[in-house]
């Protein structure tokens, strides 16, 4: 039978080894492409920024200590005062180019790409159009390179996810395998661009839900892909952490309450970030003008913010480095946090292309640095830089409901693992307080609420199957003239409640219910008993060619929970029995086969 053949194929050791080898090769390919995509995107973004901001605007932002621009020679040649008027207009120009690319070729590349990947996993079967990664790369490089406030994780996540989807579709993999390949691409891209492979893998599994859930099936694929992607990216741009951090550690238990307070501060800032970001998005969607102009207006507003606080433009990673080095004051840190929230909302919420994780780190670092300065002034904190690091983790952990991966990611990005305990406390406080809010609106509440784990409707799962393929051909039967001892022995060995009764020619006479037998024996223990004496003449019979979906519906209405499969014709010869267990087994096998899981025999 078809179901049995599928089960036997899945159980063959050679077939299983072939499947594992194929999957591993797919994970490696996704990691390789994600790593190369990260290299290309990083180079392109820096090239656009070096020319537009550096050469044209004479503005060279401070860089992260562990990530100098690949275009240092070009930037060192920049002289003269900043062309403020052009710097204000540049994000609007970038918004126009990005809007043209997105609205013309791939509207789904708008906004922050990670949320699109989350939606694809839950609702679209892991499908992403092949053109989306390319358009996302170009649009995001222009948006961020022209001064728009955005992060790198969204574009690179969509690049990796896009290739995972394309590969799964090209190989005609089951839907669930394509979903996992897509998520492996997300983890690989994030792990590469931030030089944080472990965090990237966990992020891909954790970011799907805004409750305490994790997609454990993706951990292995994402780990393999993230290692390869990180190796490729680091081989080109170096293995050093993104930021150079001072020597800070958690050694004084009296500092712990301060980190709890920082968690509250991060939660408050995260709430404002989420609400203002989506409020801005909704405002632009309601404007009675063509969508093309939304990112242009958003870019212009971003440029005006940059006129007051230039550090809020582009990635702003240099501001995190300055905060770690203790070169920023309390007032500037608070102003930077607010400016970054506004600039990111105007740049990405208006329809521009970029991520939201990078800006969240900047905001968290600014809030952490400001809080650290206050506690240091009160004599309750040795080094304010420690709260800069913890604030980076706490803010995004609350805003995205991803505490575990964020703790690890910030540790990998800073090369500092001495602040794990305060980071855990801060992230937990922020995540608990912001449980109802998330910067990723397509997150599902739980695995049960995800379309990836919703059981397909019974008619869909059983489509194409017939009763003959799934019935029990070896079901025990009872002869009508069997005597008491033989009859009772057969009932005891059968394991079911009801059995078909046939005559000497194999024609069906009816059913026998073991409960009736027990009742007869209790009432008349010494009376001779034959199968025909407890016969139930009324039963439901079906033809072997009937669809299994229709048979399942009849089973739901049958008082005996059993259908007798007979040859066409009244009281025909018994061919087999269909019980609910047979339908459940067929449903399980069909669902697993459709979802890409291992097919397991239930009998």
What is the SS3 assignment for 540?
A: coil
Q: How do residues 102-140 score in pLDDT, each as one tens digit?
A: 989 988 788 778 888 998 899 888 888 888 889 999 999
Q: How confident is the model at residue 540, as a pLDDT?
A: 82
Bigger pLDDT: 363 vs 571: 363
Task: State the greatest distance between any 2 C-alpha atoms of the chain, in Å, as a whole number.
Answer: 114
Whether 541 has a pLDDT exceeding 80, the answer reads: yes
The answer to whether 23-237 and 458-595 have equal CATH topology is no
Specify the range with the lowest mean pLDDT, choosing from 183-197, 420-434, 442-456. 442-456
Q: For the structural domain made of 458-595, what CATH number should be given?
A: 3.10.580.10
Between 490 and 292, the more confident residue is 292
Instruction: Break the chain into its structural domains and give their ranges.
Output: 23-237, 253-449, 458-595
The DSSP line for 95-130 is HHHHHHHHHHH-GGGSB-HHHHHHHHHHHSTT---T
CATH number of the structural domain 253-449: 1.10.3080.10
Percent of the chain beyond pLDDT 90?
56
**Alpha carbon distances (Å) from 364 to 334, 384, 404, 422:** 10, 13, 16, 15
Share of the chain above pLDDT 70, in %: 91
**Number of Cβ atoms within 10 Å of the Cβ of 453:** 15
Would you call 242 helix, strand, or coil by DSSP? coil
Average pLDDT, the chain: 86
Give the number of other CB atoms < 10 A from CB of residue 275. 13
DSSP reduced 3-state for 55: helix
Question: Rounded to 5 degrees, what are φ and ψ at 350?
Answer: -80, -10
Strands lying side by side in the sheet with 508-513: 478-479, 498-502, 508-513, 535-536
Q: Which pLDDT score is estimated for 591?
A: 65
The span from the first CA to the last CA of the chain, in angstroms, equals 14
Quick one: which of 30, 28, 31 has its CA closest to 234? 31
Q: How confident is the model at residue 593 (pLDDT cuts 50, 70, 90)?
A: low
pLDDT, position 461: 59
Distance separating alpha carbons of residues 213 and 439, to the nearest angstrom: 17
Q: Which of 413, 423, 426, 446 is nearest to 199 (CA)?
A: 413
Give the single-character DSSP code of 503.
-
**Residue 563: its pLDDT value, please?**
85
Q: Check residue 464 and give its pLDDT.
A: 73
Over residues 329-366, the pLDDT tens digits come to 999 999 999 999 999 999 999 999 999 999 999 999 99
Kindly report, residue by residue over 447-493, the tens digit of the pLDDT: 888 888 766 555 555 667 888 888 888 877 888 787 777 766 766 66
User: What predicted TM-score, i.e. pTM, was given to this entire model?
Assistant: 0.76
535 has which bridge partners?
A: 512
Measure Cα distances from 267 to 213, 380, 419, 428, 534 in Å: 20, 21, 19, 10, 71
- DSSP, residue by residue, 148-191: ---BSHHHHHHHHHHHHHHHHHHTT--HHHHHHHHHHHHHHHHH
CATH of 23-237, one of 3.40.50.300, 1.10.3080.10, 1.10.443.10, 3.40.50.620: 1.10.3080.10
């Amino acid at each position: 039978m078809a179901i049995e053949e599928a089960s036997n194929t899945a159980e063959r050791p050679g077939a299983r080894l072939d499947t594992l080898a194929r999957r591993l090769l797919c994970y490696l390919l996704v990691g390789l492409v994600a790593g190369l995509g990260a290299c290309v995107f990083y180079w392109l973004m820096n090239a656009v920024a070096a020319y537009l901001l550096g050469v044209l605007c004479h503005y060279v932002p401070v860089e992260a200590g562990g990530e100098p621009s690949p275009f240092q020679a070009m930037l060192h040649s920049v002289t003269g005062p900043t062309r403020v008027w052009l710097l204000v207009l540049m994000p609007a120009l970038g918004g126009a180019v990005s809007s043209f690319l997105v609205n013309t070729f791939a509207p789904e590349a708008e906004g922050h790409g990670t949320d699109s990947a989350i939606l694809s996993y839950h609702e679209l079967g892991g499908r992403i159009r092949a053109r989306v990664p390319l358009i996302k790369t170009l649009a995001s490089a222009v948006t961020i390179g022209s001064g728009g406030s955005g992060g790198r994780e969204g574009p690179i996540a969509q690049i990796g996810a896009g290739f995972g989807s394309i590969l799964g579709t090209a190989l005609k993999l089951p839907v669930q395998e394509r979903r996992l390949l897509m998520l492996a691409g997300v983890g690989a891209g994030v792990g590469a661009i931030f030089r944080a492979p472990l965090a990237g893998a966990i992020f891909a599994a954790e970011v799907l839900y805004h409750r305490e859930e994790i997609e454990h099936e993706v951990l292995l694929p994402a780990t393999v892909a993230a290692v390869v992607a990180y190796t490729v990216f680091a081989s080109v741009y170096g293995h050093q952490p993104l930021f150079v951090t001072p020597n800070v550690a958690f050694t004084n238990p009296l500092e712990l309450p301060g980190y709890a307070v920082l968690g509250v501060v991060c939660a408050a800032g995260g709430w404002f970030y989420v609400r203002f970001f989506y409020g801005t998005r909704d405002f632009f969607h309601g404007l009675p003008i063509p969508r093309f102009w939304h990112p242009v207006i958003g870019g212009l507003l971003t440029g005006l913010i940059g006129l007051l606080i230039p550090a809020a433009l582009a990635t702003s990673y240099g501001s995190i480095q300055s905060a770690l080095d203790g070169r920023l004051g309390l007032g500037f840190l608070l102003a930077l946090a607010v400016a970054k929230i506004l600039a990111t909302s105007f740049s990405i919420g208006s329809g521009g292309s970029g991520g939201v994780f990078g800006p969240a780190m900047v905001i968290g670092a600014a809030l952490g640095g400001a809080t650290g300065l206050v506690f240091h002034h009160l004599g309750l904190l040795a080094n304010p830089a420690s709260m800069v690091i913890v604030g980076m983790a706490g803010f995004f952990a609350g805003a995205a409901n991803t505490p575990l991966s964020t703790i690890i990611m910030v540790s990998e990005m800073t090369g500092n693992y001495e602040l794990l305990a305060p980071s855990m406390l801060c992230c937990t406080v922020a995540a608990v307080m912001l449980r109802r809010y998330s910067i990723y609106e397509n997150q599902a509440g739980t695995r049960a609420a995800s379309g990836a784990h919703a059981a397909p409707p019974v008619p869909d799962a059983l489509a194409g199957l017939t009763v003959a393929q799934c019935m029990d051909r070896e079901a025990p039967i009872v002869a009508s003239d069997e005597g008491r001892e033989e009859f009772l022995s057969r009932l005891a060995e059968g394991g079911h409640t009801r059995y078909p009764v046939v005559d000497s020619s194999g024609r069906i006479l009816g059913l026998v219910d073991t409960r009736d037998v027990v009742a007869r024996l209790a009432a008349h223990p010494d009376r001779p008993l034959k199968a025909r004496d407890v016969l139930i003449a009324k039963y439901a019979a079906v033809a072997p060619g009937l669809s299994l979906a229709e048979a399942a519906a009849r089973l739901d209405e049958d008082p005996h929970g059993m259908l007798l499969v007979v040859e066409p014709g009244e009281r025909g010869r018994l061919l087999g029995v269909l019980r609910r267990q047979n339908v459940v087994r067929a449903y399980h096998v069909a669902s697993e086969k459709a979802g890409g899981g291992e097919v397991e025999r239930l009998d």
